[in-house]
Amino acid sequence: MTPDAGTPRGEARTPARTPDQDVRQGAAEAQRVPGAPDFGVRRTLARTAGGKAVDVYRPGPGAPDRGPTALLWHGIAPDERDILGPLAATVARAGLRVCVPDWGSDAPDGGRSQLLDSLAFARDFAAGHGGDTERFVLAGWSAGAPAAMGVVLRPGTADGPRLAGVVGIGSRYDRPARTTGTVPLEDIAAMETSPVPVSPMQASPVPVSSVPESPVAVSPVPVWLVHGTHDTVMGSEHTDAFAAALEARGWPVHREDTATDHAGVIMTEHDPARDRCVPARAGHAIRGGLLTASVLLRAAGLLGQREAQAFGPGPGAV
């Protein structure tokens, strides 16, 4: 998870995995979200049209026949869907269908086609497996977060109905999104004649072709942002700036902080010996992951504000 020479400073990178390597996190590691139902969870392996692996997490027996679906994108390291297993299993246990694909930032296009392939896969899954296609949430962690935001800030990026919500987890938004090649903060600034100041950006290490300007007006989509207050990889000031820019343009923004670090917000912790994220054992990371799980459930309409009151920044240091 330590940034390297081929990664923009502040983007976490870990060793690559092969597409056929199965996830190691199972249903037994799913946490229980307070205030949410417990249906259990099932996991299956699928493939996108381009051949990338996708782990599909579904609630077990007793869940409603029609429910919302979320697509969850991992960070900068290629093919790391497994590290999102604990978070995905936790929200699936509470009733949310979740697709977690591999994608490769080392692809010639920076991962754009693989990300958009997975978006098409998840929409098709929702439509063909009893999902509620009008309650579709797109979420991403680290480099996956601006990729998700790019989809809503540049409506011409991908076909499909309007998202029910988009969730950004532990990231920054002043670098080019892997889905669009444009900078989310600059996309927001372009929405009006008086743009907000944007921090200077460094060049992306991977050439990503920009999506042409869309003639479609940008309709506000509910945005949910989560950040760890002890994140030293990507400071929470990046989420502060992004939230402020969206709010200045009238977008509905829900901001949550939790007393954990960059790995803890997805219910993992960094293992220095392996230089990768592994399922969390520390209390701060489990609490941080549960806060993120509650945000995903709220974005999908499965958890109300009252039930989510148990979550908050929380005391203690990492």
pLDDT tens digit sequence for 96-126: 999 999 999 999 999 999 999 999 999 999 9
Question: How many of the other CB atoms lie within 10 Å of CB of 312?
Answer: 13
Would you state the pLDDT for residue 50?
A: 96
Residue 129's pLDDT band, with cuts at 50, 70 and 90, is confident
Tell me how far CA of residue 14 lies from CA of 2, 3, 23, 109, 281, in angstroms.
Answer: 7, 8, 16, 20, 19
Among the listed residues 224, 290, 281, the one whose alpha carbon sits nearest the alpha carbon of residue 258: 290
Domain boundaries of the chain, sorted by first residue:
27-310
**Backbone torsion region of residue 101, taken as left when φ is above 0, otherwise alpha when ψ lies between -120 and 50, otherwise beta:** beta
> Treating both helix axes as pointing N-terminal to C-terminal, what angle do 85-93 and 283-299 enclose, rounded to 10 degrees?
50
Distance between CA atoms of residues 314 and 61, nearest Å: 33
Of the ranges 6-15, 235-244, 299-308, which is most confident? Answer: 235-244
User: Could you tell me which residues are beta bridge partners of residue 254?
Assistant: 224
Query: Does pLDDT of 74 surpass 70?
Result: yes
Locus of tokens 């220095």: 272
**Residue 289 CB contacts under 8 Å (≥ 6 apart), including other chains:** 31, 86, 87, 90, 260, 264, 265, 266, 267, 268, 280
Is the domain defined by 27-310 classed in CATH 3.30.460.80? no
Following CA atoms 249, 219, 155, 144 in sequence, which dihedral angle do they give, to the nearest 10 degrees? 60
Structure token pair of residue 23: 């996830």
Q: For residues 81 and 119, give the distance between their C-alpha atoms in angstroms, rounded to a whole number.
A: 14
Helices (H), the chain: 85-93, 112-128, 144-153, 184-189, 237-248, 283-299
pLDDT of residue 278: 95
pLDDT at 69 over 60: yes
- CA pair distance 230, 282, nearest whole angstrom: 14
Query: Identity (one letter) of the amino acid at 197?
Result: P
Distance CA 242, CA 318 (A): 25
Q: What is the maximal distance between C-alpha atoms in the chain?
A: 52
At residue 313 the predicted structure's pLDDT band, cuts being 50, 70 and 90, is very low
Residue from 163, 109, 108, 106 nearest 140 by CA: 163
Distances (CA, A) of 7 to 145, 167, 204, 211: 16, 23, 8, 22
pLDDT digits (tens, 9 = 90+) for 166-220: 999 999 999 999 999 999 999 999 885 433 333 333 334 444 445 445 434 688 9
Mean pLDDT (the chain) is: 83
This model's pTM is above 0.75: yes
